[in-house]
C-alpha cells in the first residue's frame, strides 16, 4: 500500500513516463553496440566459420576482419570457399570437412602490416644476444554475404 501511494505521489509531482517500443524479431533489425545487424527470418544473424591463411574465423555479414595477406586489389570482391560450418541460431550445418555449396563473399578494404614483434634470444653466461623483429602482412576485408549452399 505504501508503494502505491508513493507511485501516485510521483505521478502527481509531474514525472513523465516514456514508453519505449522494443524492436521486434519480425522487423529483421537488431541493435548491437558496434552496428546494426540484419537478421534472418528466424530472428538470428547468420554466421559461418571459414578457413583462410591457416586460421579459422567466425564471421557474420557486415563484419570487418583482418586475415592473412590476400593477392587481391583494394575494392575487389573475394570469395572464401573453405566454409567449415554455417549457422543460424540453433540450426548449425557442419561440414565433413567442408559444407558443400557454401560460400562467403567479401570485399577487400585495405592492405597493411601489423605491429612489430620483438624476438630476443639470449644464452646466459655465453655472451650471446640476438634481437630480431617481424611485422606480419594482413588484408582487411568486409563480409558482404553468406551463401548457405544446399
Q: Output the tens digit of pLDDT for each of the chain's 150 residues.
A: 444 444 444 455 555 555 554 544 444 444 444 454 555 555 678 899 999 999 999 999 999 999 999 999 999 999 999 999 999 888 899 999 999 999 999 999 999 999 999 999 999 999 999 999 999 999 999 999 999 865
Q: All 3 cell numbers of residue 72?
A: 587481391
pTM: 0.67
The dihedral built from the CA positions of residue 102, 92, 95 and 140, taken in this order, carries a sign that is positive
Q: What integer pLDDT is reported at residue 44 of this predicted model? A: 73
Question: For position 133, what pLDDT does the model report?
Answer: 98
Position 91 scores a pLDDT of: 87
Task: Name 77's Cβ contacts closer than 8 Å, sequence gap at least 6.
Answer: 105, 106, 107, 108, 144
Distance CA 137, CA 114 (A): 6
pLDDT at 111: 97
Q: 64 burial class (0-12, 13-18, 19+ CB within 10 angstroms)?
A: middle
Amino acid at each position: 500500500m505504501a508503494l502505491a501511494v508513493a507511485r501516485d505521489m510521483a505521478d502527481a509531482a509531474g514525472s513523465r513516463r516514456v514508453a519505449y517500443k522494443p524492436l521486434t524479431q519480425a522487423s529483421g533489425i537488431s541493435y548491437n553496440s558496434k552496428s546494426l545487424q540484419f537478421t534472418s527470418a528466424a530472428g538470428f544473424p547468420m554466421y559461418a566459420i571459414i578457413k583462410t591463411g591457416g586460421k579459422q574465423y567466425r564471421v557474420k555479414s557486415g563484419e570487418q576482419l583482418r586475415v592473412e595477406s590476400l593477392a587481391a586489389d583494394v575494392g575487389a570482391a573475394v570469395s572464401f570457399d573453405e566454409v567449415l560450418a554455417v549457422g543460424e541460431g540453433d540450426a548449425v550445418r557442419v561440414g565433413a570437412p567442408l559444407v558443400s555449396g557454401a560460400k562467403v563473399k567479401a570485399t577487400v578494404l585495405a592492405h597493411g602490416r601489423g605491429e612489430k614483434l620483438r624476438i630476443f634470444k639470449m644464452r646466459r653466461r655465453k655472451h650471446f644476444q640476438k634481437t630480431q623483429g617481424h611485422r606480419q602482412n594482413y588484408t582487411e576485408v568486409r563480409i558482404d554475404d553468406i551463401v548457405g549452399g544446399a
